[in-house]
């Protein structure tokens, strides 16, 4: 049984309303998202990276990106999070480069004012 079903089932029959169902959905969603954020803290060793990976929106607002090996990949020395939140995001991906609007993170972990990351 889902969290929402449990919350609704535990609500007295005379108290069930549209707003009660929406509140149950919101509470269940908050609990699940807190679990996902806690899992990020457990797996990703670098606190700054873990904080940037945490989603602060509702569970199904965006496509989930979690896989059993996804978060752990950020603990590898050759993997860096490219934070595009201060840009217009990723503009283009080619065979050899990742193009963002204003800043790039090189494969060596250096932030540059540029438009491209070249992979060699």
Question: DSSP per residue over 29-67, as a string?
Answer: HHHHHHHHHHHHHHH-SSHHHHHHH---S-TTSS-----
> What per-residue confidence (pLDDT) applies to 69?
85
Whole-model pTM over 0.95: no
Q: In angstroms, how far is the first alpha carbon of the chain from the final one?
A: 50
pLDDT digits (tens, 9 = 90+) for 50-103: 998 888 888 777 766 667 788 999 999 888 887 777 667 777 777 777 776 655
Q: How confident is the model at residue 110 (pLDDT cuts 50, 70, 90)?
A: low
Inter-residue contact 102 to 86 (CB < 8 Å): yes
pLDDT of 43 > 50? The answer is yes
d(CA 43, CA 49): 11
């Amino acid at each position: 049984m889902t969290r929402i079903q449990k919350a609704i089932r535990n609500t007295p029959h005379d108290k069930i309303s549209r707003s009660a169902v929406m509140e149950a959905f919101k509470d269940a969603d908050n609990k699940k998202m807190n679990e996902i954020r806690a899992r990020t803290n457990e797996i990703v060793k670098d606190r700054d990276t873990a904080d940037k990976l945490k989603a602060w929106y509702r569970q199904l607002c965006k496509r989930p990106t979690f896989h059993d090996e996804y978060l752990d990949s950020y603990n590898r020395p050759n993997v860096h999070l490219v934070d595009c939140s201060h840009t217009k995001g990723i503009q283009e991906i080619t065979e050899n480069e990742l193009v963002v609007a204003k800043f790039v993170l090189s494969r060596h972990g250096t932030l540059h004012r540029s438009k491209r990351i070249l992979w060699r």
